[in-house]
Amino acid sequence: MNWYVDVLKNYVGFGGRARRKEYWMFTLINLIIVAVLFGIDLAIHSQIPYFLYALAVLLPALAVAFRRMHDTGRSAWWFFIGLVPLIGSIVILVFLASDGQAGENKYGANPKLNPAVS
């Protein structure tokens, strides 16, 4: 749960790097919350809770995805290749699942080696 809260605290931190664990733990907890909200939406016949949550986590989700791209040594602009149907999503998934660059890159120190950064 700390990974999720840390991403929310750094909701506009588009600079720096994010470890795979930070990104994927945020994504996992986010999917669990979305599933619960989907059940609530079905029960109350309203999509308002889901849309409010989606709006609230939009910036943190983009920020952690951009930082994840930085960890692999790529510009955050690569994230927008996901707009290409099918192929773009596969490429983004590969980038997000790839190991980060060892050592320091132009986006900062390796968060695996420096836990204070992540």
pLDDT in tens, 93-117: 999 999 999 889 999 988 888 665 4
pTM: 0.88
pLDDT, residue 11, reads 87
Determine the Cα–Cα distance for residues 73 and 70; give it in Å rounded to an integer.
5
Determine the Cα–Cα distance for residues 71 and 93; give it in Å rounded to an integer.
14
Total domains in the chain come to 1
- What's the pLDDT tens digit per position in 6-40? 999 998 899 999 999 999 999 999 999 999 999 99
Determine the Cα–Cα distance for residues 62 and 26; give it in Å rounded to an integer.
11
For residue 56, give its domain range: 2-97
Q: Residue 9: exposed, middle, or buried by beta-carbon count in 10 A (0-12, 13-18, 19+)?
A: exposed
Task: Examine residue 38 and state whether it is found in any structural domain, yes or no.
Answer: yes
pLDDT, residue 114, reads 67
Task: Examine residue 29 and state whether it is found in any structural domain, yes or no.
Answer: yes
- What's the pLDDT tens digit per position in 28-80? 999 999 999 999 999 999 999 999 999 999 999 999 999 999 999 999 999 99
